[in-house]
Every structure is written in C-alpha cells, then in structure tokens.
Structure 1
Amino acid sequence: MSFKAQLSRYDKSGMLNRVLNMPEHFKEAWQSNQDIQVPYSAGQIDNVVVAGMGGSAMSGDVVRCAFSGRLPLPFYVNRGYTLPHFVNENTLVFASSYSGNTEETLSCFNEARQRNAKIVCITSGGVLATHAREWDLPCFQLPGGYPPRSALVFLTIPLLQSLIQLGWVDDLTAEISETTAVLENLSEIYHPDNESETNLPFAIANRVYQKIPIVYASNGLPEAAATRWRTQFSENAKILAYGNLFPEMNHNEIVGWGLYEKLDKNLQPIYLRDREDHARIKLRMDITREMIEQSSPPVLEIWAEGNSPLARIFSLIFTGDLASVYLAGK
C-alpha cells in the first residue's frame, strides 16, 4: 500500500488536500471581500489588537511577525477572555473567530464594545456574525466548512486588506502572487506521491516519528511559524510538541540539554531559519546546535523560501503543516 493510500484511511477530514490547496486559498481569499470597507480613520487609531484563539489568533501572529518592520503602530495578539487595559476608543480591535462562536473572542468583543473600541469582525458565521449585523460593524465573511486550523489564509488576508485600506501597508498584490507561486512549487515537490528524502515534510515526519519535536526559531519572522508547527503537530499528528525562541533560550533552556542523554535521544530538535535572522542569532543557533547534538539526534534545519516576508513565513508554515499531516499517517 502506498503512503498516500495509507494516509487516506486516517485523514477523514481531508486535511492533506486542504494543506496542498493552500496556494488556491490565497487566490480565493485575495479576491474575496474586496467590497468590505473599514470605516475608520487611521489618524484616530493608536494601536491594534487581534482577539482570537487557535488559528484565528495565529493569523494575527503571522501579520505581526511578517510586517513588524512596516507597521507604524503597536500590533498586539490577544489570546484570552479579557483585553489589555490600554484598549480604548483609539484601539482597533479585530474580533477573529472562524466559527464565530469562540467564547474567549466573544468575551473580548463585548469588552471592546464597552470600551468604545473600533471593531472589525472576521468570521464564517455564528454569534460573532450576528453581532456584527446587529451593530452594523464591518465583517469579513469567510467561507464555511473548514476545520479552523486549515483556514489560516482566509483568516490572514482580511487583516492585510484592512491594513492596506488604513494606509499602513502598501498594496500587496505582488507579495500575494509571489507567495502563491512559492507554495504552488512546494506543493508539487512535497506531494505525497514523492516518498523520497527530497520530500522535506515526508523526511521530517520520518525523523519526528515516535519522538517529541522541539521547535526553535528566532524572535523575528520565523516566530509565528514555530508556534504554528507546534500546534499542528499536536492537532494533526496528536503528539506533544514544544519549543522556544532565540536568543531567549540561550539564557535558560540551553542548560536543560545534556544532563539526561537517554531522554534527549527521544527529542527531535528542529530549527526554523530565515536569511534575515539577526547575525548574532545565526551565530547563536550554529553554536547551540553543536551543543545540543552532543546528546540529541541531529538538528533538523528548515529554511524559509521566497523573497518577500509573506512568502518566507508561509513557506515555513506550509512545510510544517504537511509534515504534521504526514506524521499523522505513519
């Protein structure tokens, strides 16, 4: 039996095809909701908060990490029932919930209204969509029928379209096109029909099998991708996954490696790397790798592909998503 046939026995939600179709998600999402207007003035906004959980919050992390060098104001991702104290009438709050029924997001939505914050809703329906209609709030309507973790692109694009409308980010048509092209290329190379080591997600799944992945990245662009890898390993492959960021891990976690070599052998360290990582972080990662590998399996290094920040971060996300699905089929 081929691996693809074996995987299909377990993939009841069609997650493999949903991941492989990520390039199409970009095309569809970019063309959708073009008529939705964000009716607020950029000059009246001091900060931005994305209130969400799971994949809905992950979209905020993607934007925060990929566009931190371009956004002219603080951009905060809020996971929980309450909003930060600084939220007021000069805060733009994105209430993001794919289902529209996430209780934490609805709690933050109600709090944002009480504080007279400027609100934009992102959802496929549910209570959040009903509230948006009741209060005449801008609402990006997402296609239904997806497991929320597979709707990341649909959740991310409305954030970008809003930032463009407010004048904080220039037109992203070229970056969207490049990201789509990069993912289309990876989708062909990483197709499950290719069971060789040239299929990077397949090779990652083989290395992680029966081990606990420890995902490390810099605190720049790859940060959101590292979080995504951990959550996808847990949700898709049903395993525990952990990780940390450079340079922070060099100030504490590094000393946890090596004391119990028998334990370390059951961990699979993974590096997510980007060519724009700070020079000192690149050096730290190289030195740390030498230290970790004294007691652990060899570190897996995955490099971001593409030119634009959006393409690079989604190349890492796409690779991790596929690796988690392939691991689930083993």
Structure 2
Amino acid sequence: MSPAFEPEPAAAAVDRAGMWRHIAAFGDLLAREWRRSADLELPLPSGRMPDQLVIAATGGSAAAGDIVAALAAPVSEIPITVVRGRELPNFVGERTLVVAVSCSGNTAETLALYDDAWRRDAPLIAITRGGRLAARCEDDGVPAWRFDYDAPPRAAVAPLLAPLLRIVERLGLYLVTTPDIEQAAARCAALAAEQLAAGSSAARAAGAAAGRIPLILAGGPLVPLAERARNQLAENAKLLAASAALPEAAHNLVVGLDPALAPARWTLLALAAEGDPAAPYLEVIEELAASRGIPFLRLPIPGTSPFEQALAALVTVDALSWQAAIARGIDPTPIPEIESIRERLARLSSAEIST
C-alpha cells in the first residue's frame, strides 16, 4: 500500500532521498513483516525454553530490541536484555537464547557478539538483511531470519521489530496477536500522514526545539522512544538532543535546570500518553520549567494500550526528527560523521564499525 502522504515540494526538495517514505510506510511494513514471520522457527535445543533472552545489536538495529524489551518487562518471566558493544554478559550460556540483530549484516559489534555467543554454546538466531552475519549463520548452521527492505538501519525498524515480537510471542514472554498488529499498523499509517504534515504536533515540537537542545522525557514503555527521539534527531536533523527516563530524572537531572542558563539553551519535550505512569512527574516538571522560564511542550501519544502507544510514539518521534530536518533545510539521510568514523576505524587493526 502506498503511503497516504506526499510532502510539500519545498520539503521534498530538502529530503532528496525520501526519508519521509520510510516513516509513512512503517505501519504497512510492520503488518507485512509480521505476517511473513509466521514461519519463523526458534533454535530451542531439546525444546527447552531459555532462562534468558539477549538481543545483541548496536545503533539503529538496536532500537527494535529496546522497544520489545520495554514492552515485555512487566509480564515476561525471564529477563530480556539488549546488549550493545562487543562482549556479552557473563550469565550468557547454554540456557540463553541470543538474537543477533544487524540490518546490514556487517555491524562489527554484532558480529563480535555473535562470535561470543557461539563460543559460549548459546542457542543463536539472527535477524538481518544479509552481509557477513548471514554468511556466518549459513556456515555455522544457525537460523537467520532475512528481510529485503532497502533503507538505512534507523529507517528499517519495522522488519526488525516484527520478528522480534514474533520471538517473544513464541516464547510466551509477551502476548501479541495478528489483530493487535493490524489495528496498530493501521493507526500508525494514519498517524504518520498526520504528523508528517505541516502544522502537526511533531512540526510544532520541531519548531520549539529550533536553536535549542531538546531534552526528551518519558516514562514506562515509552522510555526507549525518548532515546529513539534523541538518536533520530541526531541522525536525521543533525541536531544534538538528550533524553531522560522518569521517574529517575525527577530524582537528579531536574536540579541541573539552572534558571540562569537553561531557558536560553533547552527545550523540554515530553512524550505523554493516556494512563502514563509518568504523568504526575510530567506535571510537576512542567510547573518547575514554567517557574524557570524553560520551554516545555507535550507530544501527545495516542493509543489505548502500551503496545499501541509504543508504536505511535515511534512514528511520532521519527516524524519529529524529519520535521526538524526540514525546518533546518537538512537532508535527513546522509550521515557523514558516522561514515567518517567508520572509515577511520576500518584502518585500525583493532576495531571497525558499521551500522
């Protein structure tokens, strides 16, 4: 299904690679990949359920793992851990299912985590578009769930999220049904068209952040989406941002809102959903911000369940980053700083990077 949104000509001229298309297509793509992942099989030796689930990923490929881990945390009977970097926690072993996630299949850190899991005899499955990870899985007889969606890793979250949701559903860690997916996907498609349009709440939030450093606040299952907003603003809008989790931030970070400095430098953006356990904290922080002259703006997140709200927040913050990029006249797709770091590290014998 084609996206129900077309950018204005001026915006399209800035977004030359069409990042908006990936945001608009998220819902349809999630539903498609969920249906396709019905054939996904898990490596469970002797049919034994794992004692832990580890999602090994870095950069844009880790975002889906963060969302799944946060959604499942209140109900899962085993820990779900997202591991970034090059070394797995000591507890990983034969009773740990490790899911190696790399959009490109060439993420050096994820390949290192794959090797670490292999040495520990941990059951392994990969989610990837191909690359060295897929080749290694083929050589080792490890199952690899592959997809063919062509997008930068930060824009390919749907093909990663769908099989991860299927995995936690198959393990009985988090209940997801096809009607849940289809309903949320349809709402995301409509929401994307709304938030990408001029004058949307995402556009207003982008305007409020102009010339400032946005601090994104969220609580509960929306915490990973505050982190997503921070990273998307960096990659898409080339804008430095920060994120903080509630209620933790109410116990420390708020003290740093210096009234002599913060009003000129910061804008507070809050991801606010119905039934949000962070709501009381947002109210008092909003009062504190007002008393110190610090701009505070709520980004309303629709949805009647944490699942719907998490997906809606994903679409909203991605649209926020796109709106900020367009407002700054910056093409969202190029990431020259990351490419430069990758090239420099590739010349070192001890390290490499790919996202």
Q: How do 1:267-282 residues align onto structure 2 when only pairs under 5 Å count? A: 267-278=266-277, 281-282=278-279
Inter-CA distance 108–296: structure 2 relative to 1 (3 Å threshold) = farther
Instruction: Identify the match of residue 35 of structure 2 among 31, 37, 41.
Output: 31
Instruction: Identify the match of residue 123 of structure 1 among 120, 125, 128.
Output: 128
Q: What is the CA–CA distance in structure 2 between the aligned matches of 1:242 and 1:191, rounded to whole Å?
A: 22
Q: Does 1:319 align with 2:316?
A: yes
Q: What is the CA–CA distance in structure 2 between the aligned matches of 1:144 and 1:305, rounded to whole Å?
A: 27
Instruction: Identify the match of residue 40 of structure 1 among 26, 31, 44.
Output: 44
Other-structure match for 2:228: 228
Q: Does 1:162 align with 2:159?
A: no
Decide which moves more: 203-212 or 226-235: 203-212
The letter of the residue matching 1:241 is A
Q: What is the CA–CA distance in structure 1 between the aligned matches of 2:74 and 2:288, rounded to whole Å?
A: 32
* Structure 1 alignment gaps of length 5 or more: none
Contact 1:49–1:78, Cα closer than 8 Å, also in 2: yes
Other-structure match for 1:214: 215
Q: What is the CA–CA distance in structure 2 between the aligned matches of 1:238 and 1:223, rounded to whole Å?
A: 21
Q: What is the CA–CA distance in structure 2 between the aligned matches of 1:3 and 1:13, rounded to whole Å?
A: 13
Q: Does 1:303 align with 2:300?
A: yes
Other-structure match for 2:247: 247
Other-structure match for 2:263: 264
Inter-CA distance 230–176: structure 2 relative to 1 (3 Å threshold) = same
Q: What is the CA–CA distance in structure 2 between the aligned matches of 1:297 and 1:136, rounded to whole Å?
A: 56
Q: What is the CA–CA distance in structure 2 between the aligned matches of 1:70 and 1:304, rounded to whole Å?
A: 22
1:80-123, CA deviations, whole angstroms, 9 ceiling, x for partnerless residues? 11000110110010100000000000000000000000111000
Q: Does 1:51 align with 2:65?
A: no
Contact 2:195–2:201, Cα closer than 8 Å, also in 1: yes
Q: How many residues align?
A: 321
Contact 2:55–2:98, Cα closer than 8 Å, also in 1: yes
TM-score, normalization: structure 2? 0.86
Contact 1:36–1:140, Cα closer than 8 Å, also in 2: yes
Decide which moves more: 152-161 or 95-104: 152-161
Percent identity reads 29
Other-structure match for 1:285: 282
Inter-CA distance 137–256: structure 2 relative to 1 (3 Å threshold) = same
1:241-271, CA deviations, whole angstroms, 9 ceiling, x for partnerless residues? 012111211222111113424x432211011
**Deviation for aligned residue 1:45:** 0.8
**Deviation for aligned residue 1:171:** 4.5
**Deviation for aligned residue 1:296:** 3.9
For the aligned residue pairs, the C-alpha RMSD in angstroms reads: 1.8
**Deviation for aligned residue 1:34:** 2.7
TM-score, normalization: structure 1? 0.92
Decide which moves more: 111-120 or 166-175: 166-175
Contact 1:123–1:140, Cα closer than 8 Å, also in 2: yes
Q: How do 1:52-201 residues align onto structure 2 when only pairs under 5 Å count? A: 52-192=57-197, 195-196=198-199, 199-201=200-202
Q: What is the CA–CA distance in structure 1 between the aligned matches of 2:184 and 2:149, rounded to whole Å?
A: 23
Other-structure match for 1:14: 18
Q: What is the CA–CA distance in structure 2 between the aligned matches of 1:118 and 1:256, rounded to whole Å?
A: 45
**Deviation for aligned residue 1:165:** 2.3
Q: What is the CA–CA distance in structure 2 between the aligned matches of 1:174 and 1:68, rounded to whole Å?
A: 22
Inter-CA distance 48–316: structure 2 relative to 1 (3 Å threshold) = same
**Deviation for aligned residue 1:273:** 2.2
Contact 1:221–1:274, Cα closer than 8 Å, also in 2: no
Q: What is the CA–CA distance in structure 2 between the aligned matches of 1:148 and 1:10, rounded to whole Å?
A: 20
**Deviation for aligned residue 1:77:** 0.5
SS of the residue aligned with 1:34? helix
Decide which moves more: 222-231 or 252-261: 252-261
Runs of 4+ in 1 over 6 A off after TM superposition: none
